[in-house]
Chain A
Amino acid sequence: MLEQQEKVSTSTSTSAKSKQPEVFQQKTLPTEVMIRLQDVSKVYANGGSCLQNVNLNLKRGDFVFITGASGAGKSTLLKLLYGEELPSAGRVYANGCDVNRLRGDRLAKFRRRMGIIFQDYKLIPNRTVAENIAFVLQAQGKRQQEIDRRLIPTLKMVGLADKAEYFPDRLSGGEQQRVSIARAIVGTPPLLLADEPTGNLDVENATQILRTLQNLNTYGATIIVTTHDRQLAALSERPVLQLHQGHLYWVKKP
C-alpha cells in the first residue's frame, strides 16, 4: 500500500518527508508559510519513538488531513505545533514563530492565534455551552461586548444556538464535539488544529463538522485535521498525508 504512495514531496505548498530530510536554508520564514516542521523527531522518556525526521511545509489557507492508526503520533504532531510537547530533535515553526523557543506569556499569546479541537473535547463540565465558548475569549481578556458579539454567530454556525444554556453532560457526543469546534473557532484564528474532530461520530455528524471546517477554510484559515478514518479523508477533496511508523507520507497530493 505504502509503496504506491509518494513518500517525498517537493510540492510548493506542502512538503512532507520520509527518508531524505529536506533542508530549509532560509532563516526567516516567508510570510505565506504557516507551518514548517524541520527534521522533527520525538522520542518519549520511556524510549518510545513516534516521529522520525518529519518535514512538513504548509502555506496559509491550506487544508490537509493527516491520517494514521491510533498511536501513530498524530496527536503528538499537533501537540508539537501548539507547544504542549517539545521535539527531541528538529525545529517547529507555526504562524511565524519558532514554537520550541516560546515560553510563558509568549506561548500563551501564540496560542491565542490558533484554535485547537481536542480529541476528548476538553469541555468544562460545570459551565454551560455558552460559558465554555465564551471562556476562551474571557481568558484572552476580551470585553463582554466583544464576547456577546461573537458568541451567537458561532453557536449558529455549529447549530447549537438553542442549546447555549445546556451543560455538556446533557449533550450528545456529536454536540459536545461541536461545542469544542465552536470554542476553537470563536476567536477566528488563522490556524486551526483539529485532533480527530469526527472520532466516534456518525457519518451525518462527521460530514456536518467537515462542512463547518471547510467553511472556515474558505475564509482563509489554515486547517490541519487528524483522523484515523481514511474514508473520511477520502470524502473530502483535500490533500491527505499519512503518518506511519514515525514517517509522514503523501497519500493524496494537493
Chain B
Amino acid sequence: MLQFFTKLGYLCRESLSSLRRGGWMNWAAISTVTVLLFLFGVCLQTSWQLDSLLDHFGNQLEISVYLQPETQGETIVPMVRGVPHIKDVRTIPKERAWQSLLEELGIADVAEATEQLEGNPLVDELKAIADNAQKVPEIVAQLDRIPGVDRIVYVNEARERLQQIQQGLSWIGIVLTSILSLTAIAVITTTLNLIAVARRNELEIMQLVGATKVWIFLPFVFQGVIFGLVGGGLALALITTLRTLLSNLFFVKTDFLNFLTEGLKLTSLQLSLLPIIIFTLGISVGMVGSFLAIRRFSLR
C-alpha cells in the first residue's frame, strides 16, 4: 500500500514538473482538446435534444385531417371511421382550435382578434388514431379520397424531417469528431514528443540507473490524461454556459416557445452521461497521443 502511494507521489511529481517544462505547448494541446470536446459535446447534446423534440411531437399513430372551410366535422366522422385500421376519431371544432391557438400565442381578447381577421380563419379538424404505424401512409391515401377533406398532416412527416436533420447532424458530428480527434492526437503527440526530446538526457540516465519503461513513460501518459481532463472540463463549462444562455433566450411566456424549451432540456440521465462521455473521449485522446509520443523512444 505504502509502495503504491510512493509510486503515485512520484508519478504526480514527475507529471507536474513535466507540465511546468511544457509551458505554452501545454496550452496548445489543451485548447485543441477543448475545441474537439466542445464540438463533439454540442453535436451529441443537439442530437439528444432533437430526440426529445421528436418525442414531444407526440404519437406517430395520430393523423390530423383538415376539412374544407364549409365542411362540418361531424358529417365526415362516420366516413373516417369506415376506413380500415382506424381505431378512434375525435373532432376539434374550428372555434375550439381558434381559441387554443390564440391562447398559445398569448392573445387574451378572442373577440377582438376574430374581428380583426374578419372571422375565424381556421377549419374543423379531425384527429384519427391508427392502430398500426405501418398502415399510416395507406390510411392517409384513403382519407384523402373522402370529399370535404382538404389537407392531411401526420406526425411521421414532421418526424421524418427532424430525423433527416438529426442524421445529417450525426454525420457532421462523426466527421468533425474524427478530424478533430486526429488533430488533437497529433498536437498532444508533438507536445509530449518535444518535452521528451528536451528531456532526452534525463530519460537516458533513467534507463541507465535502472528505471523500468513504465516508470519512465508513465508520467508522459499521466500528462496526456491531464490534457484530456482539463480540455474536457473547459469544454463542459462552455457547453453548459451555451445551454444556459440558449434556454434563457427561449424563456418566454408563450406556450409554444415553452414547448420548444421543454424539448431542448436534457434529462438527468443525459446530464450525467454528457460529462462521462466527454471526459472518456478526452482521456482516450490524451492517452493515444502520449503513447504515440513515447513510442518513438525505443528502449532495449
Q: Does chain B have a CB within 8 A of A65? A: no
The answer to the question of B207 belonging to the interface, with a C-beta cut-off of 8 Å to chain A, is yes
- With a cutoff of 8 Å between Cβ atoms, the chain A residues found around residue B213 in the complex are 104-105, 108
A136, B209: Cβ atoms closer than 8 Å:
yes
A138 touches B205 (CB 8 A): no
Q: A103: CB under 8 A from chain B?
A: yes
Of all chain B residues, which has the CB nearest A138? B10
Pair A104/B299 contact, Cβ less than 8 Å: yes
Q: A83-B300, A139-B215, A141-B6 are in contact. Are A124 and B210 (CB under 8 A)?
A: no
Contact status of A141 and B300, CB under 8 A, knowing A82-B208, A109-B210, A111-B210: no
Chain B residue, CB-CB nearest to A183: B209
A107 at the interface (CB under 8 A from B): yes
> What per-residue 1/0 map shows which CB atoms of B195-224 lie under 8 Å from chain A?
000000110111111111111100000000
A183 to B205, CA, bound (A): 11
Q: Could you tell me the dominant secondary structure of chain B's interface residues? A: helix
Q: Verify A144–B6 contact, CB threshold 8 A.
A: yes
| Interface residue B3 (Cβ < 8 Å from any Cβ of A) | yes
- Whether a CB of chain B sits under 8 angstroms from the CB of A84 is yes
Given contacts A112-B210, A122-B208, contact A141 B201 (CB under 8 A): no
| B212 touching A124, Cβ below 8 Å | no
Chain B residues lying within 8 Å of A141, measured Cβ to Cβ, are: 3, 6-7, 10, 215
Render B1-28 as a binary contact track against A, CB cut-off 8 A, 1 for contact.
0110011011000000000000000000
Interface assignment of A116: CB less than 8 Å from any CB of chain B? yes
How many A-B residue pairs have C-beta atoms within 8 angstroms? Tell me.
65
- What's the nearest-Cβ distance from chain B to residue A214, in Å? 23
CB <8 Å contact, A111 and B299: no
Alpha-carbon separation in the docked complex, A105 to B9 (Å): 21
Complex alpha-carbon distance, A104 and B217, angstroms? 13
Taking CB atoms, residues of chain A closer than 8 Å to B205 are 122, 124, 135
B211–A108 CB distance below 8 A: yes
Query: Is B7 a contact of A111 with CB atoms below 8 Å?
Result: no
In the complex, the chain A residue whose C-beta lies closest to that of B216 is: A139
Question: 1/0 per position for A82-95, CB-CB distance to B under 8 A?
Answer: 11100000000000
B residues in contact with A107, CB < 8 Å: 300
Q: Do residues A124 and B201 form an inter-chain contact, with CB atoms below 8 A?
A: yes
Question: For the complex, what is the distance from the CA of A103 to the CA of B298, rounded to whole Å?
Answer: 12
- Distance in Å: Cβ of B219 to nearest Cβ of chain A: 11
Chain B nearest CB: distance from A167 CB in Å? 14
Residue A5 CB within 8 A of the other chain: no
Closest to A79 in B: B208
On chain B, the residues within 8 Å of A138 by CB distance are 10
Q: Does A143 contact B (CB under 8 A)?
A: yes
Nearest CB in chain A: distance from B218 CB, A: 12
Does any Cβ of B come within 8 Å of A140's Cβ? Answer: yes
In the bound complex, residues from chain B placing their C-beta under 8 Å from that of A139 are 206, 209-211, 215-216
Q: Which residues of A contact B206 (CB under 8 A)?
A: 135, 139
For the complex, give the distance between the alpha carbons of A37 and B215 in Å. Answer: 31
Please indicate the chain A residues that have their CB under 8 angstroms from the CB of B210 in the complex: 108-113, 136, 139-140
Asked if A143 and B300 make an inter-chain contact with CB atoms under 8 angstroms apart, the answer reads no
Contact B201 A84 (CB under 8 A): no
Nearest A residue to B211 via CB reads A139
Bound Cα distance from A142 to B300, whole angstroms: 23
Q: Which of A83, A105, A111 contacts B209 (CB 8 A)?
A: A111
Nearest-neighbour CB distance to chain B for A23, whole angstroms, equals: 28
Task: Point out the residues of chain B lying under 8 angstroms from A136, CB to CB.
Answer: 209-210
Cβ B208 vs Cβ A116 within 8 A: yes
Contact with A122, one of B2, B201, B211, B212 (Cβ below 8 angstroms) = B201
Residues of B within 8 A of A82 (CB): 208
Contact with B along A131-162 (1 / 0, CB 8 A): 00001101111111000000000000000000
Q: How far is the CB of B212 from chain A (nearest CB, A)?
A: 5
Listed residue (A139, A140, A142) with the most chain B CB atoms within 10 angstroms of its CB: A139
B32 to chain A, nearest CB (A): 27
Instruction: Report chain B residues within 8 Å CB of A116.
Output: 208-209
Name 21 interchain pairs, CB-CB below 8 A, sorted by A: A82-B208, A84-B208, A105-B214, A107-B300, A108-B207, A108-B212, A108-B215, A111-B208, A112-B210, A113-B210, A116-B208, A122-B205, A124-B201, A135-B206, A141-B3, A141-B6, A141-B7, A141-B10, A141-B215, A142-B6, A144-B9
Which residue numbers of B lie inside 8 Å of A, CB to CB? 2-3, 6-7, 9-10, 201-202, 204-216, 299-300
Give me the 6 closest cross-chain CB pairs, A-B, nearest first. A112-B210, A139-B211, A111-B210, A136-B209, A108-B212, A105-B212
Task: Beyond the given A111-B208, A139-B210, A140-B210, please list 14 additional residue pairs across the A-B interface where CB-CB is below 8 A.
Answer: A104-B299, A107-B300, A110-B210, A111-B210, A112-B209, A116-B209, A122-B205, A122-B208, A135-B206, A139-B206, A139-B209, A140-B211, A143-B6, A144-B6
